[in-house]
Each structure stands twice: as C-alpha cells, then as structure tokens.
Structure 1
Amino acid sequence: MSGSDLQRMVDALAEEIGRSVAINDPSVHLKCASRHFGDEDEVRVHAVLQREGGSAAIGHMLSQGITEWTGPGVIPARADLHMRARLCRPIRCRGELLGLLMVIDPESLTEADIGAIEDSAAAMAALLYRDFVAEDEQRVAREGAVLELLCGTAERRTAAQRALGGQGWLRGGHHATVSVAEVVAPGKEKAQVEVALRVALEAVSRNRFAEFALAVDGNRGFLLQSAPAPKEHLRDQGAMVAKQVRDALGGSARCVVGIGTTAGGLAEAWISREQASTAARSARTLPDAADVVFWEELGVYATLLQIPDDRLTPRLLPAALNELIANDPHGRLVRTLAVYLDNAGSGPDAAAALHIHRTSLYYRLHQIEQITGLSLANGDNRLALHLGVRMMALLDDPS
C-alpha cells in the first residue's frame, strides 16, 4: 500500500462527514490527516505540524486503554491540554491493532456519520494489514538483533552486529551508549506495559542527536544510541521516558532508567547495557533513589549490585552486623554506625550529622563494639561493617 491510498480514504471520509479525520499508529503518532473543518484543537494542530500530539496528550490517550479497545469509544477532553474529546475507532485485522481513527467532538456525530466511519475503518484495515505484515517482520528482526547485540553471548553479539549492519541499521557506530528502562506496574497487563515503553522510547528515538535502535522485552526497554551525548542530555532523555511511561500507565506504575557509560563501538555495547541494567536495578531498589541513575554514580553499589538476587539475603551480612541488628530493635545503633562510617570515622562530624553530643556518640559506639565484639579502630572491621550497612539497603529488592 502506498501512503496516498490511505490518505485518499481519509480525505473521502472527512468530506463525507464534514469533519477532520486523523489516523494514528498504535503508538498514537500521526500517520495521516485530512484538512481541517474548523473543529481542530491545539493537540491536532501540533500533531499535524510535528507528527505527534505531544507526550502529555499521548499519555492521556493511552491511559484510557485505547490500545485494548475492540470497538469505538470516547477519549475525554483535557482542558489543561487544550484537547477536545475524540471518538477513537481502533482499526484491527486478525486481532492486530493497526491504527486509531480519530474524530473530534463525538457527541455531534450522527448515525450516518458513525456508519461512514465504520465502513471506512473496515476498508482501511485491509490496506493497513498489508503494510503491517512487512513492517512487523522488519521490526521483529531488528529488535531481535538489538537484544542479541546487548544481551547475547559473544558469538551471538557478533552475528547480531553483522545482521544489523547488513540491513543498514547502526552501521559503523564508533560509540554506543545504552539506557535501560524498567517498569513496575502492579495490575497492568504485559501488553499495556510494552506499548507504554515502546511509545516512550520511540518518542526519544525521533531526536536527531544520534542514530538510535530500540527493543522492548516484557517490562524492560533498551535504547542504544551510536554517538556520545552530554550527561544532562542523557538524564533529560531518561526522565522523559520515565514520565511518559508513568503518564501512560497511571496508578502506582513506576518506570526507572539506568544509563551506562559510552562504550567504544557496537562490539562493546553489551558492557554499557550491563552497566545500565545495574543502574536501573539500583533505581528501583535503593530508598529515595531517583528515577534516572547513571552507572558511574553508583559508587560501591556498582559492586554490591552484582550479587544475584537469590544470594542477596540477611545471611550475606557480616555475622557481627546481624548480631547488632538483633539487639537494636529501634535501629538507633545501626543508624549511628552507618553515619559514623559514612563520615570516615570522624566523631565530631558524625555527632553533628546525628544531632547528638559527642559523649552520646562515643557511648553508642562503645555499645556497638560490645555487641559486635569488633573494634571500630580496626580498618578491616570498619570496611566489613560498612559494606554490610550498605548492603542492608538492597535487602528489600522486589525483583
């Protein structure tokens, strides 16, 4: 199918019902639109000019569950977005969502208008399905190769790089920076999470800063870019992905993004991916962690987070620290120990951070030494206890 075929059908429907008509792809990005009939709003105008209606509008539409609809429905208005209500008619064929037919101000549509929309949607489905088959085969092949490049064995990574280059994707990249987005969305279907991730990653990948490749695997999304980027640009990019996923899924959904360092070409992209995955794990695990975390900011957690989930239990803590925890029901001594070690064993600094007198601090430290049987004057003891205290923050990892 050529784009002109779909455009002619959209124009014909618009003239028949005397209304503006638009066709979006399943990610709510504009495929084609008719001329205006005086019913346009700011979201439609923006979409016609920019090929998408903006992340907030897309998030609002996706939050209605439109990608799961099997029949027409109404997307409510959003005054803060200057967005009027829309009739959304999913276009499906053989169960596949191929597009979203949109008409503004559904309440004024007549029965004849609705009938014309239904007839046109059926005809459009046949045209779109032919494109879908070819495009989906390419997408699946490309994403499969990207996943192998980032997550496969050495042999599979080499084959994936060759396959990507042979298809004209990511040829000759001398740099590779990987971001990993992970979604925790209780009560949401896998398909909803995947659509939200794909929409957010595709929005970022349309940026012309670098060549991008993306892949989605369940609740994880991978974004590979083949040019170095400023740190703040990467942080803003990750924040955009996290926000758009949250907006799309709503409720208690959370999306975190880990960002690896820039590797020396596609052959080393897996290194950046491993770093990014570790950073994402820290973002969803550590208390008060930001939604976007760089691997290079992890400090000692870059090492501690290499411990497999099934090994990360209280049994891994030093026996002396477990003894302290058992004898410190209110956690006062454990917190004192943590602050003291974080301040490099400086009594004045630790006392100031805890807002207590130095005499009280030294009394608590004496209690800690009695319970643990360890001298805090010993460097090895301080190191073991400090690592244990840091590890405690990881023990509630929900993965």
Structure 2
Amino acid sequence: MQRWIQRARSGGEALQALVDGLAEELGRSVVLDDPLVRMICTSRHFGDEDRVRVRALLQGVADDETIRYVLSQGVAQWTRPGVLPGREDLGLQPRYCVPIRERGHMLGILVVVAAGEPLTQAETAAIDRAASAVAVEMYAERLASDGDEEHTRRLVSRLVGPDSAQRCAAHRRLVDDGLLPAGPHVVVTSVAVSGQRGPSGQVAVALRGALEPFRQTRTARGLPAVDQDRAALVQVFEREPAEEGLEQQCRAIVRSLTTFLGPGPAVVVGVGGRRTALADAWISYEQARVAARAARRLPRLEGVGDWERLGEYAVFLQLPDSALNDSLLPKPLRRLLAGGGNSRLEETLRCFLENAGSVPRTAEVLEVHRTSLYYRLRQIQEVTGLDLDNGAHRLVLHTGLRLWDLLQAPPEGPA
C-alpha cells in the first residue's frame, strides 16, 4: 500500500490514485465525497454497487434524499470513523465513513461500501492510512483554493460596495483577469441564512455548494462571494434573463441549502434589478438585498423575492427595520384592524381595492351578493371614517394594508 501512496501524484490525480489504490487493496468500492456528500472521485465497482451508487455515477451527484439522510446522521460532524447504517428504501447499503479532517478543517468523507463481510482490523488500518494521505492532499488544495476564494470575495464585495473608487478598481480587475465579462446583462442575487445552530462554518460551506453550479451555465457566467451566513452571486448573461428562469434558479438555491442544512434554518433569496453593465452591479445588489427583505417579511413569496416584481413594497422596504412598525399604519386602518374582530371586513376591503373599486368584480371574487357587499363597504366606511369613492382615501387604506403585510413577519437574522 505504501508504494501506491508514494506513487500518487499531486492534485485531483493524486486523490484519484489514492482512492483507486485503496479500493484495489480492499476489493471494495471506495468514494471520496466533499463535506456536502458530493462526489469528488470514485473507484471502479467490485460487485458491491447499490442503487445509490449507480444513480450517483450516472447523475454525477447523489439524490437529495440520500444527501439529507447522510447529513442527518451527523457524518459531516464525526471526529472518528464509523458505520453509516444502510437504508433499504433508498437502495443504500451500509458504508464505512472516515471524516477527512486537517487542522480543524472538515475537508471531506472517505466512504467504503461495507456490504457483505465485515471489515477486518487490517482493512480499517489500511483505510486509516489512506485517509491520512488524502487529508494531506486535500488540505494543500484547500489552502490554495482558500486564497483564490478570498481574493474573489474581496473583489466582488468591492464591486457591489459603497465606495465608487473601489467599485471601479474591482470592475477593471474582474474584467482584465477574465473572471467576468463587462456585460451585456448583469444580475446580482443575494442569499441569506438565519437560525442555523450547527457547527461554525457549516452555513458557509453549504452556501458555496449551493452557488457553485451557477459559476457557469449555458447562458451566464457567475461569481459567488460567500461570507459566513450570507452570499452574493454576480452573474453576467449573454441575453436578458427571463423572470421565470431567475425564479427557478433561486428555488434551486433554496432546495440545495435545505438539503445541505436541513429544515431548521430560514433561507431567503433576493434577485436584483437587471442592469446592462458590470459597473452597475452594485445597484442590482442593493435591490437584491431589498428583495431578500421582502422574501423574509412576506410569507406568500416563499423565501424568494424579485425586485422587478415588488411594486410598492420596493419603496416601503427602503425604510430601516426600526422604522417599519405600527406607527406607520394610518389611524383609520388601525381602527378597522383593532382587536382582529373585523377579518371579514379586512378581506372585503383588500378585495375591493385590488379590483380597483369594482363592485361587480369584488362580489364575484368574494362570491357574495352585491347587496351584502354594499353592506360591508358601508361598515368599512363607518369604522374608518373614510369615503371609498374618494381616490385619496382608497390610496391611504391600500398603502396601509401593504404596510400591514410587511409588519406581520418581523425579520430575523441577516438581510
């Protein structure tokens, strides 16, 4: 075994050689995963393949359900080797898993299919030796990639930051170094995670994993910048992206983070306005942060906000959190909402205003007779003291209801 460890070359070839050598010695399938259970390299089969392994090889990644199961067993937090129980319903045979750690960093998981005969003491000793060699290689790669990632993070942070001189310098560097093109269509996405109580750094690892697929797509080049519990993704598209495509991308990010982190943390994603030059990415970024605030405060957005769809909420959310409180609500509306006993009148008022004051359309949507609707509208006017035939009065109530929506879900964590 020592001979093939010494023959292993640097980089990815070295890791592949280590995995292949261990598999040949054991006569078992071996996989090296990253901390998010995504395959880095794998050996050939030894007749012990299961459905999970076959699907992972065909797809290049394990199914979300399998990843969730593995992470739910705490494998990424293990400090010593252990056996991951099989799951017949997933088509998963037991695995012997060795966490690859070096100097406090969780680098990956060395996985040996443990179906059939139990591992002998000599086999586990061989796995330990291989794991030590893998840790050396992965730590060297980690040091190099950390330097590159920090350099990229600083450039992106300056590109979208408040200092115009730093923005110009970062823009020039990103374009000159070929990291991003100058245009023609630029969008920045903001991602934030709150409520995570796992190990320090776990959120950052998950954010990197969720955003990695968007560095290069069929229509765009992207550059993510991750900072603890939040991230920004700058993308330059060849053609103007459709709203539906951006929403699908955001939903994919949310699904990935939910898979990697479990159901506990709250994930919000905000998409900024579409710009025509990389130099204006900072504008899209500020808008993306506003959209993320909307995603946190408005449950109907289901965690994803888009600046282009916010409407009047984009104006309200320019206010700091400290200013978004009940004092902004117009007194007439507060009287209607007081005590929560007028929910039917609130629903009627919302529907009436959303339908531009049209009695026929409002009655149809609410499925009530027009006589009943007129009665409710008179009640609303009596409680609020406002005239629903007056455009300015309707604007006061409509604006108030929008603000009321934002106040129902106070923000938590980073925006």
**Per-residue CA shift, 1:242-268, capped at 9, x if unaligned?**
112112222344433322332112111
Normalised TM-score (structure 1) = 0.90
2:233 to 213, 223, 230: 223
1:311 to 315, 323, 326: 323
* Deviation of the 1:103 alpha carbon: 1.1
| Amino acid of the structure 2 residue aligned with 1:179 | T
1:110 aligned partner: 120
Structure 1 range deviating more: 379-388 or 120-129 = 120-129
Distance 2:325 2:309 in 1: 24
Distance 1:72 1:20 in 2: 17
Conserved? CA contact 1:185–1:249, under 8 Å: no
Conserved? CA contact 1:75–1:88, under 8 Å: yes
**Per-residue CA shift, 1:26-70, capped at 9, x if unaligned?**
343333322221222344345445543354444443343333222
2:107 aligned partner: 98
Relative to structure 1, is the Cα distance of residues 40 and 184 closer, same or farther in structure 2, using a 3 angstrom cutoff?
Answer: same
Structure 1 range deviating more: 104-113 or 120-129 = 104-113
2:335 aligned partner: 323
Q: Unaligned regions of 5+ residues in structure 2, if any?
A: 1-9
1:163 aligned partner: 173
1:148 aligned partner: 158
Distance 2:25 2:374 in 1: 85
Structure 1 range deviating more: 49-58 or 226-235 = 49-58
Relative to structure 1, is the Cα distance of residues 151 and 54 closer, same or farther in structure 2, using a 3 angstrom cutoff?
Answer: farther
Distance 1:32 1:179 in 2: 31
Distance 1:386 1:18 in 2: 70
Relative to structure 1, is the Cα distance of residues 335 and 231 closer, same or farther in structure 2, using a 3 angstrom cutoff?
Answer: closer
2:4 aligned partner: none
Conserved? CA contact 2:336–2:342, under 8 Å: no
* SS in structure 1 of the partner of residue 201 of structure 2: helix
* Deviation of the 1:379 alpha carbon: 1.2
The two structures, once aligned, show a CA RMSD in angstroms of 2.5
* Deviation of the 1:78 alpha carbon: 4.4
Conserved? CA contact 2:293–2:411, under 8 Å: no
Distance 1:64 1:207 in 2: 33
Relative to structure 1, is the Cα distance of residues 42 and 187 closer, same or farther in structure 2, using a 3 angstrom cutoff?
Answer: same
1:205 aligned partner: 215
Conserved? CA contact 1:258–1:294, under 8 Å: yes
Relative to structure 1, is the Cα distance of residues 83 and 178 closer, same or farther in structure 2, using a 3 angstrom cutoff?
Answer: farther
2:50 to 28, 41, 49: 41
* SS in structure 2 of the partner of residue 394 of structure 1: helix
- Whether 1:397 and 2:406 are equivalent positions in the alignment is no
Relative to structure 1, is the Cα distance of residues 230 and 378 closer, same or farther in structure 2, using a 3 angstrom cutoff?
Answer: closer
Q: Unaligned regions of 5+ residues in structure 1, if any?
A: none
Conserved? CA contact 1:287–1:393, under 8 Å: no
1:14 aligned partner: 23
2:291 aligned partner: 279
Relative to structure 1, is the Cα distance of residues 43 and 237 closer, same or farther in structure 2, using a 3 angstrom cutoff?
Answer: farther
**Per-residue CA shift, 1:287-322, capped at 9, x if unaligned?**
332343332222222222222211110101112211
Relative to structure 1, is the Cα distance of residues 289 and 7 closer, same or farther in structure 2, using a 3 angstrom cutoff?
Answer: closer
Distance 2:281 2:13 in 1: 39
Relative to structure 1, is the Cα distance of residues 61 and 198 closer, same or farther in structure 2, using a 3 angstrom cutoff?
Answer: farther
1:139 aligned partner: 149
Structure 1 range deviating more: 114-123 or 178-187 = 178-187
2:71 to 62, 87, 94: 62
* SS in structure 2 of the partner of residue 288 of structure 1: helix
1:258 aligned partner: 270
